[in-house]
Amino acid sequence: MHSEVNFIDNSHKNFNPTIAEALRTAREFLEGLNMEKPGIDCEVFMRSMLAISRAKLYAGLERNLSSQELENYNELIKRRSKREPVQYILGNQEFWSLDFFVNKNVLIPRPETEGLIEKVIARAKDKNINNEPLKILDIGTGCGNIAVSIAKELKSASIIATDISANALKVARINAERNGVAGRIIFVQGNLFTPFAKDLKFDFIVSNPPYIPSGQIDRLSPEVSKWEPRIALDGGEDGLCFYRKIIGEAFNCLCDDGFIMLEIGGDQAEGIKEIVRTHKEYSEVKINRDYSGKDRVAEIWIR
């Protein structure tokens, strides 16, 4: 491929590069924008655009792209050049070995959140030795990845998932349908505990709330700071705003032997412990680390 040819700017309508040439040019274009590991993104886009496996992609590197294929690929690369996350461009993200639809209305599921799912499932199996239906509340469900994953694993669980965003709930409902658990999750729009009567009790209250300190959001990568919904990121001045609210009210909605399970930021363990200590309704808090050794999941027991 000639170095002066840049199909990204769409200036060569009749040019039909091979897959290998298109991959190389796209990678060099994104590298010029100081993007990290653009080769992986370029390959993912090509495989998605052609709807082929990685093996077939590499077996056909010398095949020429059609004008329409080039135009489609060009559009994907243009979007990525604006630092739009790959997951939003392709419209999906894998989590807990399940496929989730995502768009700009929801936070993109992170692998570390799977640690929260693991802890909930383990506690549920310990607690539910008689296999009775468990009642679980997922606060701030976003795309529904936590509620849907738990529903797939705990077949007898009854789950209510809430979010303040109507657009996020639309995405969550799609994911519940996509993964075959729509009949076992009730989605409710509302802020934290406001949608619920005081006499409604849960065995588990789980949440991955916003926990980035407000002043740190703009320092995050553009993929996060410019594209992901700020409402799903902003945890207030110290990042602990929603933990204070959840921990401060959750005991009203917990069964006598209930648990709160929260994802936390890697430097927030002491802050979480201090919040719990201010509420006599709780007996214990345990901080669990993720596979990278960072504090990640807080388990809180009601007294």
Name the token pair of 225: 């700071």
Q: Are 302 and 282 in contact (CB under 8 A)?
A: yes
Which residues, in sequence order, are CB contacts of 153 under 8 Å at separation 6+? 117, 121
Provide the pLDDT confidence category of residue 264 given band limits of 50, 70 and 90.
very high
What residue ranges define each of the domains in the chain, with the CATH number in brackets?
A: 7-82 (no CATH), 92-302 (3.40.50.150)
Specify binding-site residues for substrate: 208-211
Distance (Å, rounded) from C-alpha 29 to C-alpha 25?
A: 6
Q: What is the pLDDT of residues 18-42, one digit of tens each?
A: 999 999 999 999 999 999 899 999 9
Specify binding-site residues: 140-144, 163, 208-211
Q: What is the pLDDT of residues 169-197, one digit of tens each?
A: 999 999 999 999 999 999 999 988 887 76
Specify binding-site residues for S-adenosyl-L-methionine: 140-144, 163, 208
Q: Are 30 and 42 in contact (CB under 8 A)?
A: yes
Q: What is the pLDDT of residues 97-114, one digit of tens each?
A: 999 999 999 999 999 999
